Amino acid sequence: MTLRLFNTLSGQLDPLTPSDGKTLRMYACGPTVYDYGHIGNFRTFLQIDVLRRFLRLAGMEVRHVMNITDVDDKIIRNAAAAGVPIGAYTAKYEQAFFEDLEALRVERPEQIARATEHIPRMVELVERLAEKGAAYRTEDGSWYFRLAAFPAYGKLSKKDLSGMEDGARVDVDEYEKDSARDFALWKAAKPGETSWETSIGRGRPGWHIECSAMAMTYLGESFDLHAGGEDLMFPHHENEIAQSETATGKQFARHWMHVRFLLVDGRKMSKSEGNFYTLRDLLLKGYKASAIRLALISVPYGRQLNFTFDGLIEATNAIERLRTFRARLTDGAFAAGENPVLQAAAKQASVDYREALADDLNTAGARAPVFELVRSANTAMDQGQLFIRDRDAILAVLKDFDAVFDVIEDRDAEPTRRALAWAEQAGRMGDVAPELLARQSITDEQVDALLAERVQAKKQRNFARADAIRNELTQKGIVIEDSKDGVRWKRR
RNA sequence: GCACCGGUGGCGAAGUGGUUAACGCGCGAGUCUGCAAAACUCGUACGCGCGGGUUCGAUUCCCGCCCGGUGCUCCA
């Protein structure tokens, strides 16, 4: 099954295929580690995770490289303010970033590339450009890319630079550039700033050269796919193309994928708007990591997603339906045999699910056949018309669903526990929702003990006591389900 | 100003030139239950932003308009 993925470069749906026929080589722009990640960041990484998981479900191998920008203006500024070396400053946020990815079940790329560990490769690339006359050094020792050297500039973002004036806005530090649009490849060291002594002088890399150099290091001069947030299309990706293709004379990435922005309550998320949320903020408010994951991936990557708390609740409830359903299948006792109607339904769901994803990663469309199967299987179970082979066929569909969505298997306790531990240590306990604390106040063993007592009470038809226990548990976020197969409970 | 994306039920959202416009959440009624929960059944858009056009026929194609968002500067 081939994925047809919108290609920003061609402006149409193109099949995404590995040029070597085997392993898809992809590069995705990672974070700048100067703060905790917010949910907008994570929507992008989550959607790229959907991509790589689907490719592997479809039988493709993936070699995915992600950079970590661990040197830039903000980092230098913040580290200086905190009075620590940039390495110490970024290590904390890099670790937090990976913890957050883990909480959201985002798979680790095959290769992580830190900018500070690839300085020589960046310097080489600048030298290569200089040899071709596409890079020049200014008086202060910085290096710039000469836009005039790359006539195709603008082909990705479809910008016609000829109509654009060299703006009035000229950075005071950049007055020496040949043209206002020429961009920095290498920034000369300023006193006291972190810098590297290299053959092109003392300084530090520009942001764009970083990605070009690292992508080529791990994937070669030409590779299959480059992905990132839509905001990176211009100028970052455009600049990457210009410098890379000028240096090598080859096409840089064949396919470009851009994840659309996330809005919060219909507005772009920003600290000044007061609608800015990190993953940790949401976990402390009591939302589950799985719900956040599902909410952020259920709207296909090519569309803006309007994030709301109602959406998070919707996702929570949808996941509950799936989890309850699967528990019914795994806990129940079924007779041998099969129901041809369900066999056909499972097969159809599996096909429809994959086809939706293969169509430009239509996650919203892919959910539908799975939920349809849930309903028909629930109906069959109610009627005693679901058999062992049906159960197995349906569980296989759920497994495929989780291979990409990864929300049915309940792994929510750990991220919440870790967020609470972090809040404690970071002095953020005041941000923890009271309901979350109430939920944490009872252990699994205590729940089991109370439920055992309730079963006894019910047997003696002491419903007052039974209901009192249920109420007490409800207060602590425990939901009870009495079924023919026994009592099931879960945490809200 | 220029460019791009979108406007489908109470909310999110899929989709199609032509039978009953997916799916999820919510809500209402019922079945089941000691009562719940879960599950199931039924109901919940006389309609797919507005106005034209093309067509035997448009929510789906074309044009215009309105509204929302984003990009054009650091930003996932």
In chain A, the domains with their CATH numbers are: 21-259 (3.40.50.620), 267-404 (1.10.730.10), 413-491 (no CATH)
| CA proximity to A324, closest of A369, A378, A283 | A378
Comparing A170-174, A295-299, A424-428, A484-488, the range with the smallest average pLDDT is: A170-174
Q: What rounded mean pLDDT belongs to chain A?
A: 92
Give percent of chain A with pLDDT exceeding 90.
83
State how far the alpha carbon of A366 is from the alpha carbons of A46, A297, A357, A402, A409, in Å: 16, 11, 6, 12, 18
- Nucleotide nearest A262, CA–C1', reads B76
> Quick check: A263 pLDDT over 50?
yes
- pLDDT, residue A160, reads 66
- Nucleotide nearest A38, CA–C1', reads B76
Report CA(A258)–C1'(B1) in Å, whole number. 26
- pLDDT, residue A173, reads 46
A15 preceded by a cis bond (ω within 30 of 0): no
* SS3 (DSSP) at A411: coil
Which amino acid residue lies closest to nucleotide B3, measuring CA to C1'?
A159
> Quick check: A161 pLDDT over 70?
no
Which amino acid residue lies closest to nucleotide B32, measuring CA to C1'?
A382
- Tens-place pLDDT, residues A443-461: 999 999 999 999 999 999 9
- Tens-place pLDDT, residues A363-404: 999 999 999 999 999 999 999 999 999 999 999 999 999 999
Report CA(A412)–C1'(B24) in Å, whole number. 21
- Tell me how far apart the alpha carbons of residues A338 and A351 are, in angstroms, rounded to a whole number: 20
- Strand B: which bases are under 7 Å from protein Cβ? 3-6, 11-15, 22-26, 33-41, 68-76
A295-315: burial string, b at 16+ Cβ within 10 Å, e else: bbbbbbbbeebebeeebbeeb
| CA proximity to A289, closest of A410, A449, A152, A185 | A410
Report CA(A314)–C1'(B27) in Å, whole number. 14
Report CA(A54)–C1'(B16) in Å, whole number. 26
H or E element that contains A194: none
- Tens-place pLDDT, residues A188-200: 998 888 999 999 9
Report CA(A368)–C1'(B22) in Å, whole number. 7
In the block, tokens 């985002």 appear at A106
Q: Which amino acid, A12?
A: Q
